[in-house]
Chain A
Amino acid sequence: MAKRSGLAQQFYIGGYDLSGDVSAINNASSPRGVAEVTALNKSAIERVLLLSDGQLEFATWFDNAALAAHAALSGLLTTDRGVMWAFGGSVGDVAGCLEAKQINYDWTRGADKSLAGVVACLGQGSELTWCVMLTSGQDTFASAGSGSSKDDGTQADAVTITSSSVANPTLITAAAVHGLTTGDSILIAGHTGSTPALDGTHTVTVLTTTTFTIPVNVTVGGSGGTMTLISTRNGVIAYLQVVDIASGTPTVTIEDSPNDSTWTTLLSFTAVADGSEPTAERKTATGVIDRYLWIATTGTFTDLDLALAYRRGESTDDVDLS
């Protein structure tokens, strides 16, 4: 990624695609309370972080066409609304996402006869989440199937391998503290001499801070190479915008894979019947998440238009999804 402008952005709320109606994002933030807890024996202020909040305020032009801004916003729904501000139309683009209460729909008619509205959305139990897109902006699934896989790559620095033992499962000895936990996925590269070869992805069982096993029956030990963590351990948060369905009832899921070939369902959004869209949903999943992700859709339907963004959880998050 690189520096970029704010051109060609997209905006969704509750499944409505308002990209053509929203003129500006006035504020996208996650302010957080701070308590000053300085003790007598300190010479500078100590602070403890308190609750976070999410806010997203945007400006819009009046548009009373079907499925446009007035239809999306004038109802002032009291139910939660999923908001997605996507920075572009490619997989991997940044998107600010928020589960929110829409608190206003305010208008100004200018002396120049302009008609400009402002809408504020305040977080509903979660902060503004900075995600990445798993769709190319808005994608269409003509029928059930999967999208393109997204490779999130390595999650830690490579650690040098000293040796692999003759054993089943083989014992891997690292040259330094490996930092793994049992169940992690790793990628071994450049390991030589072993039978069978060990390069590729494996799931580890940790024995000590520098040793672990992988489920391979090694008959000739090897040496060298590196191992890199490729899974994450703190769950995932995902935001879905269902814009349109031509017919049927699709279910949208996210699947993960350590190797881009064997996939497990990571989370499943609520099935949406034609006529119930536009709609949006936020879902979370806990635990280990593998390197590759893709969208998969199931059910009988035609032409599902959707946008989906996700964020892998981190150990420092307010809500622990490990």
Chain B
Amino acid sequence: MPKKTYIVRNPRGIPKDVHILRIGDAVWYEGDKFIPPMGAKIEQLLERGFLEEVKRGEA
């Protein structure tokens, strides 16, 4: 089953040239495609608007 894909959002209004998420050494900017790394807990990121799920056919 393919992994779900998300788009990174910017609920805190961080400037465009600054990343929004960091897990380990990896960073993601607003608008980046985000495929959760193994073991990453993303529920809070979804709850607070940092991630938006890409529905099938939208990616």
Across-interface contacts of B22 in A (CB, < 8 A):
146, 255, 262-265, 296
Q: How far is the CA of A52 from the CA of B56 in the complex (A)?
A: 54
**B45, A264: Cβ atoms under 8 Å?**
yes
**B12, A267: Cβ atoms under 8 Å?**
yes
Across-interface contacts of A285 in B (CB, < 8 A):
12
**B43, A215: Cβ atoms under 8 Å?**
yes
Query: What count of chain A residues pass the 8 Å CB interface test?
Result: 28
Across-interface contacts of A267 in B (CB, < 8 A):
12, 14
Q: Is the interface of A mostly helix, strand, loop or mixed?
A: strand
**B12, A251: Cβ atoms under 8 Å?**
no
Q: Closest chain B residue to A214 by CB distance? A: B43
Across-interface contacts of B44 in A (CB, < 8 A):
185, 202-203, 258, 262
Query: Known contacts A263-B23, A285-B12, A287-B12; is A298 also within 8 Å of B18 by CB?
Result: yes
**B20, A259: Cβ atoms under 8 Å?**
no
Across-interface contacts of A146 in B (CB, < 8 A):
22
Across-interface contacts of A43 in B (CB, < 8 A):
none
Asked if B48 is at the interface of the complex by the 8 Å CB criterion, the answer is: yes
Residue from A185, A265, A287 in contact with B19 in the complex, judged by beta carbons closer than 8 Å: A265
Q: How far is the CA of A262 from the CA of B21 in the complex (A)?
A: 7
Q: How far is the CA of A260 from the CA of B58 in the complex (A)?
A: 32
Across-interface contacts of B42 in A (CB, < 8 A):
262
Asked if B50 is at the interface of the complex by the 8 Å CB criterion, the answer is: yes
Asked if A79 is at the interface of the complex by the 8 Å CB criterion, the answer is: no
Asked if B15 is at the interface of the complex by the 8 Å CB criterion, the answer is: yes
Across-interface contacts of B21 in A (CB, < 8 A):
262-265
Across-interface contacts of A182 in B (CB, < 8 A):
47
Across-interface contacts of B3 in A (CB, < 8 A):
none
**B18, A265: Cβ atoms under 8 Å?**
yes
A-B CB pair tally, cutoff 8 Å: 63
Chain B interface size, as a band, is 20 to 34
Asked if A261 is at the interface of the complex by the 8 Å CB criterion, the answer is: yes
Instruction: State how many angstroms separate the Cβ of B27 from the closest Cβ of chain A.
Output: 8
Instruction: State how many angstroms separate the Cβ of B30 from the closest Cβ of chain A.
Output: 10
Across-interface contacts of B15 in A (CB, < 8 A):
268
**B23, A261: Cβ atoms under 8 Å?**
yes
**A264, B23: Cβ atoms under 8 Å?**
no
Q: How far is the CA of A288 from the CA of B45 in the complex (A)?
A: 12
Q: How far is the CA of A285 from the CA of B43 in the complex (A)?
A: 22
**A183, B47: Cβ atoms under 8 Å?**
yes
**B23, A265: Cβ atoms under 8 Å?**
no
Asked if B40 is at the interface of the complex by the 8 Å CB criterion, the answer is: yes
Would you give the 0/1 interface string for A274-317, flagging 1 where the beta carbon is closer than 8 Å to chain B?
00000000000101100000001010000000000000000000
Asked if B41 is at the interface of the complex by the 8 Å CB criterion, the answer is: yes
Query: Known contacts A266-B12, A287-B12; is A251 also within 8 Å of B47 by CB?
Result: no
Q: How far is the CA of A316 from the CA of B15 in the complex (A)?
A: 29
Would you give the 0/1 interface string for A193-232, flagging 1 where the beta carbon is closer than 8 Å to chain B?
0000000011101000000001100000000000000000
Q: Other than A259-B41, A262-B45, give 8 A-B pairs with Cβ distance below 8 A.
A: A253-B14, A264-B50, A265-B14, A265-B19, A287-B12, A288-B48, A296-B22, A298-B19
